[in-house]
Amino acid sequence: MGQSSGVYKYIATVPNVQEVIVAGTADLAYWRDRLAGEGLTPYAEEGKAQMLISVTALKWMGFPSRELTISVAVSRREDGGTQDGAYLVHAYNSSSMMAFMERAFFQTPYYPAQIEIESGNRAAARLVKDGKAILSLKMAANRKKLRSGERKDALWEGAIYLPSAAAKGSADRKVFYASLGGYTDVYAFDPAADTLEINPTTSEGAIRALIESRFAGREWRVREEAMHKRSATSRRT
């Protein structure tokens, strides 16, 4: 059954989502250039674009799966001064069937891959394609939390913009709306102790974009029981 926040009508709600997020920064000029064709501007904070690598383990309609998404915070202002949503660069699902359903019914850029996730105070994740790890994340042991937030404090709600087919132009631009949140433990990302390994030889465009835009981790956000909600996909106006 769909749920409404008063602004967005949600058609799917997924409780008890295990989630590991690495929030980080990237080159602003790179994402300004890349998103120009989508009619979007990256949100700018201290001269940097803001990105998320999010890894989840969830069960939807009785089907368990794991997902990994790569997104960039975007703004409706040309100067990138306000954070008004996120652009979903690419997404992976451990289930080929679920990845197909995402592409077919929601027009989201999901593709199958092997995904591993461990949450808690030993947060870790790996993305494997063709038997090779192309992205590995691991938080060093015995880390001290920066802060914890109750559900209402850690809730994000807004637009998620989808990649379009360049040949079709603005008529092909799609968006959906999501509510993502839950009790969140936050840890600083320590580049000297934590692991962020990206395979530089991969042909995966989203992974190449992390390298080319010089993505750098800033903090870990770990949720043991997140709640995810989403709307139907519609044409951008």
Domain at 31, CATH number: 2.40.400.10
pLDDT digits (tens, 9 = 90+) for 16-39: 999 999 999 999 999 999 999 999
Q: Is the Cα dihedral 65, 66, 70, 75 positive or negative?
A: positive
Token digits of residue 213: 């835009």
Angstrom distance (rounded) from CA 146 to CA 38 = 36
Angstrom distance (rounded) from CA 5 to CA 19 = 22
User: For residue 150, what pLDDT is reported?
Assistant: 52
Q: Which residues contact 46 (CB under 8 A, 6 or more apart)?
A: none
User: For residue 76, what pLDDT is reported?
Assistant: 84
- Judged against a pLDDT cut of 90, whether residue 152 lies above it is answered with no
- Judged against a pLDDT cut of 70, whether residue 105 lies above it is answered with yes
Q: Which domain holds residue 80?
A: 3-235
Enter the pTM of the model: 0.92
pLDDT digits (tens, 9 = 90+) for 61-74: 788 999 999 999 99
User: For residue 204, what pLDDT is reported?
Assistant: 85
User: For residue 201, what pLDDT is reported?
Assistant: 75
Confidence of residue 143 (pLDDT cuts 50, 70, 90): confident
Contact 235, 39 (CB under 8 A): no
Confidence of residue 4 (pLDDT cuts 50, 70, 90): very low
Give me the mean pLDDT over the 148-159 stretch. 70
Give me the mean pLDDT over the 165-189 stretch. 84
Buried b (16+ CB within 10 A) or exposed e, 179-200: bbbbebbbbebeeeebebebbe
Token digits of residue 214: 């010089």
pLDDT digits (tens, 9 = 90+) for 74-90: 998 888 999 999 999 99
Q: Which residue has the higher pLDDT, 5 or 65?
A: 65
Give me the helix-helix angle, 205-212 and 28-36, nearest 10°. 140
- Judged against a pLDDT cut of 80, whether residue 135 lies above it is answered with yes
Domain count, the chain: 1
